[in-house]
Amino acid sequence: MSALQPVRGTHDLLPEDMRRFREVADTARRAALCFGYHEVATPIFEFTEVFKRTLGDTSDVVTKEMYTFTDKGGETVTLRPEGTAGVARALISGGLAQHLPLKYFYVGPMFRYERPQKGRLRQFHQTGVELLGVKEPQGDVEVIAIGVEFLRRIGAWDRCELELNTLGDTPSRQAYRRVLIDYLNDFRDRLSKDSLDRLEKNPLRVLDSKDENDQRIVADAPLYSDYLSAEAQDFFGRVKSGLDDLGIAYRINPRLVRGLDYYCHTCFEITCADLGAQKTVLAGGRYDGLVGMMGGPETAGVGWASGVERCSMLLNETPAAARPIAIVPLGEAAERKAAQLAGELRRQDFLVDLGYSGNMGKRMKRANKIEAIVAVILGDDELAKGEVSLKLLDTGEQKNVRLTDLEAALAAYR
Ligand code: ATP
Ligand code: MG
């Protein structure tokens, strides 16, 4: 450990990273806005109970990954590992259930104590949507369509695959649970410790095991789809036909179970093979039981979250920084005028860079280095005539402009 290194699994977003980050986050926000969603932000820490109760005792997140600490007042709080629990808490504490349906979008940092590797960080960021108070399958379809639209806009959708499954309703789960326990019981001596624990507490989660040996055992387990109630099948059928109507391709993956405990009916993941091992870029599902389980009014919910860092890796190019206008004063009077002029232009929302010192050569070099689009050169003689010189840095073309016409002459470079 060195105090001069970033904490393992965290990283700085320097300007280029930040531009990729913004591109992803702004595109997700824009896509959600187009569907009538509103942006919200919940605190980045909550009482630990909020996550413990909602994510369940067997989730990886609760058992291993939470950043939990006691604050100076003796409260146990946790840095949020995901966004849904906070939104559900806000619905309850804000009495928002009277305003359903709610259509929310968020973006922000999440924290999980995981083993850092490519695409897996301890502080990462998610964009997400939550649709609350809609129990119809049209809600699931809409939420998935937002995710697809977002990935289409960042140029990644044609390299992605949507995997879809259903976790059914309570009667289906109960029926399948018994069958699965019977099957897994025969492998007790070979299952991983985590899976044995889950077998006791929440057997469905064994299907989600990352242990290779477990995965081999699970591959031959009875299929949940054979135990779905007629209602659950109908619900799933309507989600699928809704996606078909929108031309959204998907692959049914009967082994797909989400890592978090509160899902029912639809669950989905969008993966991109380009990313290698951590290839899930967006994941979500329906969580009708969540708000009720937290102690609020029974409220249907469906949503997804997407990792901004993973999506950033899918961008085809880094968005360019906006190019500034460089002001280059020559002489003392000009220098004073330059500061004034920069102020005026900035008030008109031009991007203006003004160096701090140096002769013409040094300042022009800097203008080129920061990739200014044009330099406004202020000489004492020209200024006396009420003129400045504009130099286009890409072509070297140069012309004199009257100060009074400057704003109009620069309009093209705003
Ligand atoms: P995994 O199986 O990869 O651990 P998960 O089920 O824990 O995923 P979710 O909780 O569904 O993931 O999070 C949604 C998305 O957030 C993921 O698909 C991924 O894009 C991103 N994500 C999750 N954990 C991390 C992390 N530690 N670092 C970077 N991105 C992450
Ligand atoms: Mg995880």
Residue pLDDT, tens place only, 108-147: 999 999 999 999 999 999 999 999 999 999 999 999 999 9
State the amino acid at position 157 in one-letter form: W
Task: Please report which confidence band the pLDDT of residue 180 belongs to, taking 50, 70 and 90 as the band edges.
Answer: very high
Is 252 in the same domain as 376?
Answer: no
> Is residue 215 situated within a structural domain?
no
Q: 163 CB under 6 A from ligand 1?
A: no
- C-alpha 140 – ligand 1 centre gap (Å): 20
State the amino acid at position 260 in one-letter form: L
Cβ 389 vs Cβ 381: under 8 Å: no
CA distance 297 to 282: 28
- Range of weakest confidence among 75-79, 110-114, 205-209, 403-407: 205-209
What is the domain-level CATH number for residue 40?
3.30.930.10
- C-alpha 237 – ligand 1 centre gap (Å): 27
Task: Please report which confidence band the pLDDT of residue 257 belongs to, taking 50, 70 and 90 as the band edges.
Answer: confident
Is 265 in the same domain as 376?
Answer: no
> Is residue 396 situated within a structural domain?
yes
pLDDT averaged over the chain?
94
Give me the number of domains the chain comprises: 2
Q: Given the CA of residue 121, which atom of ligand 1 is nearest to it?
A: 28
At residue 2, the pLDDT reads: 77
Burial level of 255, CB count in 10 A (0-12/13-18/19+)? middle
Task: Please report which confidence band the pLDDT of residue 54 belongs to, taking 50, 70 and 90 as the band edges.
Answer: confident
Ligand closest to the CA atom of residue 121: 1
Two tokens at 217? Answer: 């055992």
Q: 265 CB under 6 A from ligand 1?
A: no
> Is residue 62 situated within a structural domain?
yes
At residue 250, the pLDDT reads: 98
Task: Please report which confidence band the pLDDT of residue 261 belongs to, taking 50, 70 and 90 as the band edges.
Answer: low
Q: 82 CB under 6 A from ligand 1?
A: yes
User: Which residue range forms the structural domain that includes residue 396?
Assistant: 325-413
Two tokens at 68? Answer: 């939990």
Average pLDDT score over residue span 198-214: 88
Residue carrying the six token digits 């200024």: 383
Is 341 in the same domain as 295?
Answer: no
Higher pLDDT, 332 or 191: 191
At residue 298, the pLDDT reads: 95
Is 303 in the same domain as 406?
Answer: no
Work out the end-to-end distance of the chain between its first and last CA atoms, rounded to an integer number of angstroms. Answer: 46
Average pLDDT score over residue span 145-153: 98
pLDDT over 60 at 259, yes or no: no
Q: 380 CB under 6 A from ligand 1?
A: no
